[in-house]
Structure formats: structure tokens, C-alpha cells
Structure 1
Amino acid sequence: MNTIHLSEEDPTAPESVLLMAELSTALEAITGDSGKASFDVEDVRGPMACFVVARNDDGTALGCGAFRPIEPGVAEIKRMYARHGTSGVGSAVLRFLEDEALALGYQALWLETRLVNRRAMDFYEARGYTRIANYGKYIGNPLAVCFEKQL
């Protein structure tokens, strides 16, 4: 069985860019929106942010995820992705992000997905995330659904 290796990496590195492009393609197919407009790579590069890549024993990139500061004590999960056919990658990436956010002093993580993306909603709910009122640019968007997890 392959081990999942997680490490903070440069979100502008070629493999990081490729993973996020795959995510955008998948989101476009599921929701009609790639999600690119809601992500700025500079947001996940600062001292209170994180971009992580998951790799197998051979070093092949399997998935990614990130968080950025959104308000005092709260970080927002961004660009969560696990390549099709992988197992446990999304959970491992999310746990890594939660641990890193806690270590940086965050008290909660927020995220947004689309109501039509049932798989993502089920994924987050199964990992302790609960629905909250839509925040920020998602306020008033009937297609969006927001979640929170207290750390």
C-alpha cells in the first residue's frame, strides 16, 4: 500500500498548477464554474497561509489543498482536490490543513462549495464540517453553500 506524503509546496510550481487545472476542469463539469475566479495564488503564500501537495511513495502528485486567512481566527479552505482513483488523499490533505491551521492559531476553518456538488458536501459533513450562513462574496448566492469546522 502506498503511503500518502504531505508537504507544503509552491502553488506556482508546475505540478501544483497542473493539479489546480485538473480541479478547475472537474468543477466546471460538476458545477458549470471552474472556481478560478474565487482563487488568487498569492492568498495561499503568506505566513498565515498554506498550500499542500499529497504525493505517493514514487513522488507522484495525487492531490492538493490550501487555506488563506479570511478574518481574525478564521482561515478559508481553497483548491481541495484529489485525483480520480486515489483513496484517502482528500482526507489526508484536509487533516494536514486542519493541523497546520490550528498550529498557526486559527480557531475555525470555513469553505464554500456548490449545492450541486453533493459529493463535496458529503465529504465535508463526514469530517465534522457544519453548514453556516454564506459569507463574503457568497452572500446571496443560492448556488453556494458554506461550511465551518471549529478547531
Structure 2
Amino acid sequence: MHPIHLIEEDPGAPESALLMAELSTALEAITGDSGRASFDVDDVRGPLACFVVARGGDGAALGCGAFRPLEPGVAEIKRMYARHGTQGVGSAVLRYLEDEAQALGYQAIWLETRLVNRRAMAFYEARGYARIANYGKYIGNPLAVCFEKQLS
């Protein structure tokens, strides 16, 4: 396994934008929705938010992920992505985000994915996330599935 370096970066930087564009294309192919309407780069900037890029030993961008404040004590994961063919990138990004959220005082992390995105659902469930009632804009959306992980 090659080293994965996790670096907090500007979500508006060209390479960050490219990673998120690749994610949007992949999501559109899987779910029919790019997810762009549910994300604003300004939401993952600031003292209670985080945007991280995973880089290989050669500095190449391999994936990204972010969280934003959702409600008191709860952060929401956004824009989780690992480039096709990478190994361990998604897990490393998620672990980093969980650690950062906990360090910032969050008690829980929530996220939404689509029911049709079985791979994402299995990924989160394997990492301790449990299904919860749909929240916010996802309430009443039968295509959405929401998850939570309590931070210790």
C-alpha cells in the first residue's frame, strides 16, 4: 500500500474542483443526480468545517472529502470521493474527517447518499454508520438514505 497524505486544502482550488467534478460525473452515472445542488464550497470553509484532499506519495490527488456544521454537535459529510483504482483512500479520508470533527467538538456525523448507491451504503455501514431517519432537505425523499455515526 502506498502512503496516503491527507492535506486540508481550499475547496475552490482547481484540483479540488476537478476531484469534485469527477465525483459529480460518477454520482450522475449511478444515481441520475450529480449532487451539485446539495453542495456549496463556502459551507466547507471556516473554523467548524473541513475540506481535505488525499494525495499519493508523488503528490497526485487521489480523492477528497469534507464536512460542514449541520446543527449543534452534528457535522455533515459532503463530497466524499476516491478516484477509481485507488485503495484505502476513501477510508483514510473518512477517518481523517471523523478525527477532525471530533477534535472540533462534534458528537456525531450525519450524511446522505442515494438508496441506489449500494456501494456507498456498504462503505459507510462497514465503518460504523447506522441508518437514521432522513433529515433536512432529504425528509420525504424515497431515493435518499441517511446515516449517522456517533463520535466517542
TM-score exceeds 0.5: yes
The alignment status of 1:30 with 2:24, answered yes or no, reads no
What's the offset of the Cα at 1:140?
Answer: 0.1
Deviations 1:105-133 (A, max 9, x none): 00000000000000000000000000000
Superposed CA offset, 1:70-126 (max 9, x none): 000000000000000000000000000000000000000000000000000000000
What is the number of residues matched between the two proteins?
Answer: 151
> C-alpha separation between the residues in 2 aligned to 1:12 and 1:58?
22
Tell me which amino acid in the other structure corresponds to 2:115.
Answer: L
Tell me what 2:43 maps to: 43
1:62 maps onto 2:85 in alignment: no
Q: What amino acid maps onto 1:134 in structure 2?
A: N
Which sections of structure 1, spanning at least 5 residues, go unmatched?
none
Q: What does 1:31-110 align with in structure 2 at a 5 Å threshold?
A: 31-110=31-110
1:145 aligns with 2:145: yes
**TM-superposition CA deviations, 1:27-86 (whole Å, max 9, x none):** 000000000000000000010000000000000000000000000000000000000000
The equivalent of 2:19 in structure 1 is: 19
- TM-score of the superposed pair, with normalisation by structure 2: 0.99
- Give how far 1:2 is off: 1.6
Tell me, what secondary structure is at the counterpart of 1:128? Answer: coil
List 4+ stretches of structure 1 deviating above 4 A. none
Sequence identity percentage: 88
For 2:41 and 2:148, locate their aligned partners in 1 and report how far apart those are by CA, in whole Å: 22
Q: Which runs of 5+ in 2 are unaligned?
A: none
RMSD: 0.4
